[in-house]
Amino acid sequence: MDTLLYEKRGPVAIITINRPRAMNAYDAVTIKEMGARFEEFDKDPALRVAILTGAGEKSFCAGADLKSLHGKTFEGGIEELWDEDRQYRLGQKVQVRKPVIAAVNGYCLAGGLELALACDLRIASNLASFGCPEVKRSILHGYGALRLPHMIPFAVAMQMLLSGESLSAQRAYEVGLITQVVEPADLLPAAIKLAETIAANAPLSVKITKDLAWRALHEHPQEFMRYLSAAMALIHGSEDAKEGPLAFAEKRPANYKDR
């Protein structure tokens, strides 16, 4: 059985972690394949937005498959997966320029939460829950500790990080971790609808806007403004920047070419 599924629906790519019997926890094979698929998505000019989800309704991703690793199913044990994880983690060495939506369909824990945090948008079914229980196992939620305090109130992030307690989907919505809560049957359709809305926009502008938003989290304002000036010059000189206003004036859909 393939541990990762990759599907194209028009301008949208759907990447599904397909290990439901293991709560969609990832092993070394799965995380390598995920990195390769995201690179493939990012290079495909026909694709504009990706959706990351998990198979079934029980779990989005429960993080690393600790049982398999401790059982020495993969060479090198747990340390090797952490190395591979750092290498292929979405948003770190795999730099995805296009938007990615996490469609969270159940447990979103540990490394699974880190994957969701690395996505640009998160929506969830009402069965979802979000947690970082690493402190209970003497493991670090490192990437999550970097991202989580930027995305939700600091006090809420600290309670999650230090207690290992989980948030319900409704609570995650209230604190801004996710933007929608839907019924399980409506999750993928809602994610596709959002993806198609984004995909209809000018792709070059979307990619640069995503980059600006992530840079704003960490860069010094002066560095950010220098990058912004260069980005604005690039956009203003593009074919798409001419096509957008022209299509508006002519009252027709824009024909963007990502250049």
**Alpha carbons 224 and 230: distance in angstroms, whole number:** 10
> CA 141 to CA 148: how far, in whole Å?
10
Annotated catalytic residue 223: no
Fill in the amino acid letter for 149. Answer: P
Residue 175: strand pairing partners = none
d(CA 116, CA 100): 9
User: Could you give the CA distance from residue 172 to residue 157 in angstroms, rounded to a whole number?
Assistant: 11
11: tokens are 């301008």
The single residue of 57, 134, 183, 219 carrying the catalytic annotation is 134
Pick the catalytic residue from 57, 75, 79, 114: 114
DSSP code, position 98: S
SS3 letters across 3-36: CEEEEEECCEEEEEECCHHHCCCECHHHHHHHHH
Cα dihedral 93, 61, 19, 77 sign: positive
Residue holding tokens 């599924």? 5
Is position 134 annotated as part of the catalytic site?
yes
Q: Which residues are catalytic?
A: 114, 134
